[in-house]
Amino acid sequence: MTNENLVNKLTNIKYNNLMSKKVTIYDIAKYLNVTPATVSYALNNVSKVSEETRKKILETAKELGYSRDYNAVSLSTGKTHLMALFLPFEDISKPFLENPFYGEFIGGFEKQIMKQDYDLLVQPALQEKDMLPWLRKRGVDAIAVIGTYPKYFIKAFKTYNKPVVLVDSYGEKDNEFNTVLTADTDGVFESTSYLINNGHKRIAFVSGYKESSLLDMRRFQGYVSALKEHDIPLDESIIFERGISIEEGLKLTDELIKKDITGIICAADTLAIGIINGLKLKGKRIPDDYSVIGFDDIQSAKYISPSLTTIRQDITEKGRLAAKLLLDDLRNNENNHKQISLAPELIIRDSVKKIS
């Protein structure tokens, strides 16, 4: 067939489908003079076609404006190309309003799964009676969970029997699933030690509620270990538990000012940012009057004044790795129990002052 005939053929297919229906694998097969099965193999990355043929089919599919019909894919493969991400909140808007961590994590996660044509459903923590029915109704291919989860989640996951990854979780059953963590205890040990090495002895610790969050407990353990390492007694009166948000940090300002402290370790950057702004509103100077260190290194940490010294965990990379574990399990048709622990890094900026 001449090049002119190929162009005419392509033009006719485009025109006919614009006027009638969407492009199908049969249109691509007809255009390239191959079987529909060959097109299907190429589109699904099945190793039954040569790399040259696969490339030609993908290029033609793009040129014809082909888009996959996931209803049809689901019927033929049993996969919906949907993943669920559960957040530990009843109100799904709350995490996005209060903590940029979740947006940065989801950005890394979604960018990874989009490469394999997966879409993401972000969900609040469902009630026990709704959990398994929801999973079955939506037919998600894999599940991710951030933070503390109800115990009945485990039962639902085992019954549903699809790949799972737990992020920032320290539950007793976590070793039965993929997990992605940051070495939280090590991170706060380093930040507390940094303050101590800069002359601070009276250091407050601010976190979420340790009784309900093992992540906050792990970060608290890093603080306690650093004090012990430097022979500084633990003072319960300068340990504070609050919600993890800028607003909660602002509210805490008056209580902190009443305490005889020079340094503040925060279990999240959002708390640190709220505290810094609250102290400045009260006429206090950072770091001259108080040195403050956060945890996370969210994007805004470098832009506040003064810029925030913090423990960096690569949030976007954490999202990418969590997604990759699920995609690997789906590709290999397995439910693995891989554990990934990311190393934290102290990022030194302007919110800490050395004192004598």
- Indicate the length of the chain as a whole number: 356
In the chain, where does the domain assigned CATH 3.40.50.2300 lie? 82-182+316-343, 184-313
Q: What are phi and psi of 125, to 5 degrees?
A: -70, 120
Contact, 64 vs 23, CB < 8 A?
Answer: yes
The dihedral over CA atoms of 156, 162, 166, 171, expressed in degrees to the nearest 10, equals 40
Predicted pLDDT at 27: 85
- Predicted local confidence at residue 75, as pLDDT: 45
Task: Out of 3.40.50.2300, 3.50.30.60, 1.10.1510.10, 3.40.50.460, select the CATH number for domain 82-182+316-343.
Answer: 3.40.50.2300
Cα separation of 292 and 289, whole Å? 10
- Three-class secondary structure of residue 42 per DSSP: helix
pLDDT of residue 10: 56
List the chain pLDDT tens, one digit each, 356 residues. Answer: 455 555 555 555 554 544 346 788 888 888 888 888 888 778 777 767 888 888 888 888 888 877 765 555 544 556 789 999 999 888 888 888 888 999 999 999 999 999 888 999 999 989 999 999 999 999 999 999 998 888 899 999 999 999 999 999 887 777 889 999 999 999 999 999 999 999 999 999 999 999 888 999 999 999 999 999 999 999 999 999 998 899 999 999 999 999 999 999 999 999 999 999 999 999 999 999 999 999 999 999 999 999 999 999 999 999 999 999 999 999 888 888 899 999 999 999 999 999 97
Phi-psi region of 65 (alpha: psi -120 to 50; beta: other; left: phi over 0): left
Q: What per-residue confidence (pLDDT) applies to 25?
A: 80
* DSSP code string of 71-89: HHHHHHHS---EEEEEES-
Instruction: Work out the widest C-alpha separation in the chain, in whole angstroms.
Output: 86
* Residues forming CATH 1.10.260.40 domain(s) in the chain: 3-67
Output phi, psi for 165, to 5 deg.
-130, 135
Residue 5's identity, in one-letter code, is N
Peptide bond before 233: cis, by omega within 30 degrees of 0? no
Q: Torsion angle of alpha carbons 225, 239, 97, 348, nearest 10°?
A: -50
pLDDT for the residue 1: 47
Type of residue at 337:
H
Q: pLDDT at position 202, please?
A: 97
Q: Kindly report, residue by residue over 182-221, the tens digit of the pLDDT.
A: 999 999 999 999 999 999 999 999 999 998 889 999 999 9
Rounded Cα gap, residues 241 and 73, in angstroms: 48
Model confidence pLDDT, tens digit, residues 146-192: 988 888 999 999 999 999 999 998 877 778 899 999 999 999 999 99
DSSP 240-269: EE--SSHHHHHHTHHHHHTS--SEEEESSH
Backbone dihedral angles phi then psi of residue 86, each to the nearest 5 degrees: -100, 130
Q: Could you tell me which CATH class the domain 3-67 is placed in?
A: mainly alpha
**CATH architecture of the domain with residue range 184-313:** 3-Layer(aba) Sandwich (3.40)
